[in-house]
Amino acid sequence: MAIFQYSHIIFITLCTIYFIFYFKRIIRNSPLAKVFRNMHRAHEKITQVLNERGGTYLLRGPWFFRIEILFTSDPANIQHIFSKRFSNYPKGTEFRNKFEILGDGIFSSDFEMWELQRRTILSLISHAKFHTSLERNVWEKIETGLIPVLDYFSGQGIVVDLQEIFQRFAFDNICQLVLEYDPGSLSAALPYIPCEKAFSVALQPLMYRHVLPERIWKLQKWLKIGNEKKLTESWKAFDDFLYPIISSKEKNNRLDVFTAFENAYENNNNNNVNFSGDLRKFLRDSLLGLLFAGRDTTSTCITWLFYLIATNPLSESKILDEIEREIIPVKNEWRFFNIEESKKLVYLHACLCESLRLFPPLALEYKSPIESDTLPSGHFVSRNSKVVISFYTVGRSESVWGKDCLEFKPERWITPRGGIKHEPSYKFPAFNVGPRTCLGKEMSFIQMKMVAATIVYRYRVRLVDGHLVVPRDSLMLHAKNGLKVRLFERNV
């Protein structure tokens, strides 16, 4: 009996060793393994593969991982998914599972909940006093936060990470606009604000959830290790920041934003919308979505803008010439311009569009069809399968933008009459596509012009020698190593 048991153990051990080496060889040579090996440069690798495969590629992992993801950057597929068959491609339950940290916010919701969020936000930003508040808040933060901080670093001759400065600026600004609360993260001391940092920290684990098998990241979450530990800590930072603010707003002293979302909750509760929690959680989810959009989209675009103009000095000169021609002559000195005047900065607008084309803030989008479908490219997608759309690749495709697609060329956005050329969203998806097109697009351009024009007019921005600026492996296209520069004051 003992001999049988020992023989049995030896047999199982030998079989286990065989299967380990067998599957190791399979995994090592699989497309999935290539993805893991290139996670440090995921967006470039995805772009390389998609451009080699005509814009669409089906990634299959070993059968025991049950991974099958269709990647695409084909504009025809994008238009089909986001517009023509919009109702068939919701975020889906799997997306909500991956992005559970966002709750019922606009980025993760579908159907009735998404429509409720969109209506509420649209009512807020369409209000007559919204743009007045936006203009006032942006210039106030530039005057009291951005300029003093940049003057300090410039005066001291200290290297500064512009990406961090822009993230702090955007975070303070959106908090002031939405919550009427300034967390004060933008100062020369660069204070540590857990919630502000949590936005950047959370993005990498969310990216890995799209590649790792669900069982793996859920095990990490249960064990509280690795990227999932970071995500849990970020979740806590969001809650610790937002819930006290929500609690501090008395019923008779509600902000317009709080009132709008509270009314949306109370008027739709027990109707068609299924909320995942009580009113406080709904407010938390809704506000978090607004903070997420306000901090990361604008700060990411401006970061890459200054990287691009720092490496293309002629564009910097043209922006400065335009500012001096269109804004300065009124009083022959720097001044804060209004929203209507910002429309005169056509070349700066074109530079922002070119930055968004090459470095869209949201690099990847995720969809899951309700019913099976065939894409214009001829690829079949089964029900509840995974479809990942690479917005990053679209801007780097010769078939879409021509042989000069990798060049920073703002002129491609300017019409012969001197206006901004319109490009369809499925070709320029920086603000998403179809019904889910970003509601804050105009607001973003206004803020970015104000910030960019101020900095270009006041400073010469120079990259630190040897500083490598590459995209980070996260869903939001941050610069992996920041944007380290030295600032030199102009004669202002």
- Domain segments of the chain as ranges: 1-37, 38-489
Q: What is the mean pLDDT of residues 442-463?
A: 94
What beta strand segments (E) does 119-184 contain?
A: 160-161
**Choice among 66-70, 77-81, 193-197, 377-381 with the minimum mean pLDDT:** 66-70
pLDDT of residue 445 exceeding 70, the answer is yes
The CATH number corresponding to 38-489 among 1.10.630.10, 1.10.260.40, 1.20.140.10, 3.10.20.30 equals: 1.10.630.10
Copy the structure tokens of residue 103: 């709750």
Rounded CA-CA distance 346/451 in Å is: 15
How does residue 19 score in pLDDT terms, banded at 50, 70 and 90?
Answer: very low
How does residue 67 score in pLDDT terms, banded at 50, 70 and 90?
Answer: low
Global pTM?
Answer: 0.88
pLDDT of residue 170 exceeding 80, the answer is yes
Q: If 0-12 CB within 10 Å is exposed, 13-18 middle and 19+ buried, where does residue 379 land?
A: middle
How does residue 63 score in pLDDT terms, banded at 50, 70 and 90?
Answer: low
The pLDDT assigned to 13 comes to 47
CB atoms within 10 A of CB 234: 22
Cα separations in angstroms, 469 against 199, 307, 481: 20, 8, 6
Q: What is the mean pLDDT of residues 354-364?
A: 95
**Beta-strand pair 373-374/380-381:** antiparallel
Cα separations in angstroms, 477 against 147, 194, 261, 471, 481: 25, 21, 29, 6, 12
Give the CA angle between residues 75, 80, 81 to the nearest 5°: 100
Rounded CA-CA distance 445/438 in Å is: 12
Rounded CA-CA distance 119/111 in Å is: 12
How does residue 27 score in pLDDT terms, banded at 50, 70 and 90?
Answer: very low
What beta strand segments (E) does 120-261 contain?
A: 160-161
- DSSP string computed for 35-100: HHHTGGGHHHHHHHHHHHTTTEEEEE--GGGT-EEEEE--HHHHHIIIIITGGG---HHHHHHHTG
Rounded CA-CA distance 221/181 in Å is: 33
Cα separations in angstroms, 409 against 358, 431, 445, 451, 455: 10, 20, 18, 21, 21
Q: Are 323 and 457 in contact (CB under 8 A)?
A: yes
What beta strand segments (E) does 206-342 contain?
A: none
DSSP state of 362: B
The pLDDT assigned to 256 comes to 79
Q: What is the mean pLDDT of residues 247-273?
A: 74
Q: Are 69 and 384 in contact (CB under 8 A)?
A: no
Rounded CA-CA distance 142/446 in Å is: 13
The pLDDT assigned to 300 comes to 95
Cα separations in angstroms, 481 against 297, 300, 469, 471: 18, 13, 6, 8
